A and B are shown apart, each in its own frame.
Chain A
């Protein structure tokens, strides 16, 4: 694209959203410079495996890269790693790095993601071997510490996906794992009670202790280990503590420069912020989902990748609109969970169990509208759920709940 040849697109954040955006810019014909910055020193990698296969395998990060080093060179993407961006100056259209270097941009993409919340529990700052799990460095620290421990009692604070996946992986490595969840059930924010029950039981069967209603209120160091105390008086020995209680959006750079921030960085259907030259994509963006007709902030690979395409096309002068059905996945033990849609606001849940006895799916409805499907070892249900939601087709609920009805569009569609 001739007109973009002398222009520079700067991308802050080199994970799924930022990296894909850079490559998509080339696909869309961006002829100018592309400069990426990330504080993480490693060549950008896939994050989802960190708590799953990567934690339990001996493979290095090189088996887990988003793109090879050569690919960045080939596409002339200037990747600056281990570099923190200090500020955005919208008036001059520049960013300032931590060493005060100033870089000019014509278009700026904010793909800064999020960082783990470390809850202000008394004693957590001085506790031994406390780790979140978000980056490759976190996993390296967890692995190295784990190997050095003679006693391997691990407490996972938080029964969300990160906590559960990490618990499953550490169990596989031979740890004694206890999950402490503050709410009445694990995955409370994201799934129906019967899914929480299923995963609770799955972890029980695999020898991980899942305890709910556990509000951690103090951590004390004892020798080279910790005692984790809960408000109900219970105490747990922890040689290592994994914190998985959620994330803070990395919105500060945007906020300080006067970009509108709500539950994330507010963007329109082109992923553009209130500054026409600045875009925000991935976990940090607060955007409208047309299908569900509401504003959401999504922590997912799907959202990162799809928004990166929209931002790249938009920067190159096209007017795509972001209109996708969110999807997610989680792997724990040998169970594969695939999720599609957004279940928030459901008022009916239908569970469909397949004849094989190990796969099932949970279908979330608001009256007659299918909102979401959680599929356990059941890619077919995930795929058909996706089709039903995407095309706003009505499901025959009676047929759905009968596993004798084949999982086919024609069979399950209400006519």
Chain B
């Protein structure tokens, strides 16, 4: 079980729990503002962009090549950017905080 905290761009904090699935699906399930997941989680739309806290980036890992390429569409992307459809939930993600990009 992992507790994951989302912080939206207007400052709303929501902490939710899950055992599996993607972070994007978890966010959509809980109606987190700014995470749309329009393509359903196949890394095709870049509408699930989050910033990982710097201290958590080792845990989540950095963006893969395809994520990095897709993130070029977003001028705000930085080295802590991930597309949350590519973040699979497991116990190791317990306690991470994700800032929603838009």
Q: Does A301 contact B (CB under 8 A)?
A: yes
Residues A383 and B72 in contact in the complex (CB < 8 Å), given A63-B25, A68-B29, A68-B30 = yes
Q: Does A288 contact B (CB under 8 A)?
A: no
* Main secondary structure on B side of the interface with A: loop
Task: Determine which of A16, A53, A67 lies in contact with B31 in the assembled complex, contact meaning CB atoms within 8 Å.
Answer: A67
Q: Which residues of B contact A64 (CB under 8 A)?
A: 40
Per-position binary interface string of chain A over residues 380-403, scored 1 when its CB falls under 8 Å from any chain B CB and 0 otherwise: 101110110000000000000000
Q: Does A181 contact B (CB under 8 A)?
A: no
Q: How far is the CB of A383 from chain B (nearest CB, A)?
A: 5
Q: How far is the CB of B83 from chain A (nearest CB, A)?
A: 11
Segment 26-64 of B: residues with Cβ below 8 Å from A: 28-31, 33, 36, 38-40, 42-45
Task: Determine which of A49, A74, A301, A386 lies in contact with B38 in the assembled complex, contact meaning CB atoms within 8 Å.
Answer: A301
Query: For residue B28, which residue of chain A has the nearest CB?
Result: A67
Q: Does A116 contact B (CB under 8 A)?
A: no
Per-position binary interface string of chain A over residues 49-84, scored 1 when its CB falls under 8 Å from any chain B CB and 0 otherwise: 100110000000001111110110011000000000
Q: Which residues of B contact A329 (CB under 8 A)?
A: 39, 42, 44
Residues A379 and B66 in contact in the complex (CB < 8 Å), given A48-B40, A338-B44 = yes
Task: Determine which of B29, B39, B40, B70 lies in contact with A383 in the assembled complex, contact meaning CB atoms within 8 Å.
Answer: B70
B69 in contact with A383 (CB, 8 Å): yes
Q: Which residues of A contact B44 (CB under 8 A)?
A: 329, 336, 338
B42 in contact with A380 (CB, 8 Å): no
Q: Which residues of B contact A331 (CB under 8 A)?
A: 42
Number of A-B contacts (CB under 8 A): 58
A65–B27 CA distance with the chains assembled, in angstroms: 12
A302–B31 CA distance with the chains assembled, in angstroms: 20
B73 in contact with A386 (CB, 8 Å): yes
Q: Which residues of B contact A380 (CB under 8 A)?
A: 69, 72
Q: How far is the CB of B52 from chain A (nearest CB, A)?
A: 20
A41–B2 CA distance with the chains assembled, in angstroms: 33
From A49, A302, A379, A383, residue with most partner B Cβ within 10 Å: A379
Q: Does B21 contact A (CB under 8 A)?
A: yes
Residues A68 and B70 in contact in the complex (CB < 8 Å), given A46-B40, A48-B39 = no
From B21, B25, B66, residue with most partner A Cβ within 10 Å: B66
* Nearest 7 pairs of A and B residues by beta carbon: A379-B69, A46-B40, A329-B44, A380-B69, A71-B31, A383-B72, A68-B29
